[in-house]
Amino acid sequence: MANTNKTMAEMKLAMIDDMKLNPGLITDTERTRFLNRALLDVSDLNLFEKEASLVALNGVITLPDDFMNLIYIKHPTTGRYLKAIRRPDTILSGDNAIAYVQDADSLQLIPSVLGNVTYTVSYVYRLPALVLETDQPDLPNGYGDMLIDFAVALCHRKNGNMGIYREYMGMYNVGKFSLATELTRKLNTKVSVVQNSDNIGTTVYNPFNSIDF
């Protein structure tokens, strides 16, 4: 479905229109910054997921810049999900990774597989920032306008209008709660089926299986 949310240029115009009665001294650069701060706040919901094909170079997967939290890693040929473990004293090499250790910006596969191997990685991502005037927020259609409420709220706070700031922030939080409810409902209806450890039949994926107690 095509993204019908307003572009950054359109959102800035909406901000200016909303602030006609109390325009203050807000620059275009500040409008851009406030809109992107809204996107960071929405990202903190931790509900935006994507699946990507990431290359492991000699057993190490470099995490993308928009990475926030890992959901799973899937082996490219067996389809098995790799297990999270504590870092072993020695990392040996092998033909097939069966586990991983997560670092701040990378994933170490265990055992370490030499060469380049592509794995399927699902993770929670940070919403991309708005850079160009034609950029649109990566949000479900209809939710882009709440970014305007957040940005206008920050404009009024800068101008010292705390009452109006709270009013707009309240409208933003209503939209944010509605978005969180919709995304949570969609995530709760997803069913993942994976191969069990013996590669016989299928079992419903339990995310807690990856925890090494």
Answer yes or no: is 192 within a domain: no
pLDDT over 60 (residue 3):
yes
Structural domain count of the chain = 2
Would residue 181 count as lying in a domain?
A: yes
Domain final residue pick, 125, 144, 169: 125
Interval 3-26 mean pLDDT: 92
- State whether 31 and 54 are in the same domain: no
Residue ranges making up the domain that contains 81: 49-125
pLDDT by residue (tens digit) across 80-117?
Answer: 999 999 998 888 888 889 999 999 999 999 999 889 99
Whether the pLDDT of residue 10 is over 70: the answer is yes
Give the per-residue pLDDT at 187: 84
Taking the C-alpha atoms of residue 45 and residue 96, their distance in angstroms, rounded to an integer, is: 35
Tell me whether residue 107 is in a domain: yes
Q: Is residue 195 part of a domain?
A: no
Tokens of 134: 């034609």
Residue with tokens 């090494």: 212
- Please state, in angstroms and as integers, the Cα–Cα distance from residue 74 to each residue in 12, 151, 208, following that order: 42, 39, 15
| Domain identity same for 116 and 62 | yes
Mean pLDDT, rounded, of the chain: 89
Does the global pTM surpass 0.85?
Answer: no
Whether 8 shows a pLDDT value over 50: the answer reads yes
Report the DSSP beta bridge partners of residue 50.
123
Same domain as 40, residue 141: yes
Return the minimum-mean-pLDDT range out of 20-24, 62-66, 141-145, 155-159. 20-24
Are 91 and 143 in a shared domain?
no
Residue range 45-69: mean pLDDT, rounded: 96
Instruction: Kindly tell me if the per-residue pLDDT of 210 is higher than 50.
Output: no
Are residues 70 and 28 both part of a single domain?
Answer: no
User: How crowded is the C-beta side of 98, counted as CA atoms within 13 Å?
Assistant: 8
Tell me if 79 is assigned to some domain: yes
- Tell me, yes or no, whether 206 lies in a domain: no
Per-residue confidence (pLDDT) for residue 193, from 0 to 100: 43
Percent of the chain at pLDDT above 70? Answer: 89
Q: Sorting pLDDT into bands at 50, 70 and 90, what band is 191?
A: low
Q: In this structure, are residues 135 and 3 in contact, taking their beta carbons and an 8 Å threshold?
A: no
196 pLDDT band, cuts 50/70/90, is very low
Separation between Cα atoms, residue 152 and residue 150, nearest integer Å: 6
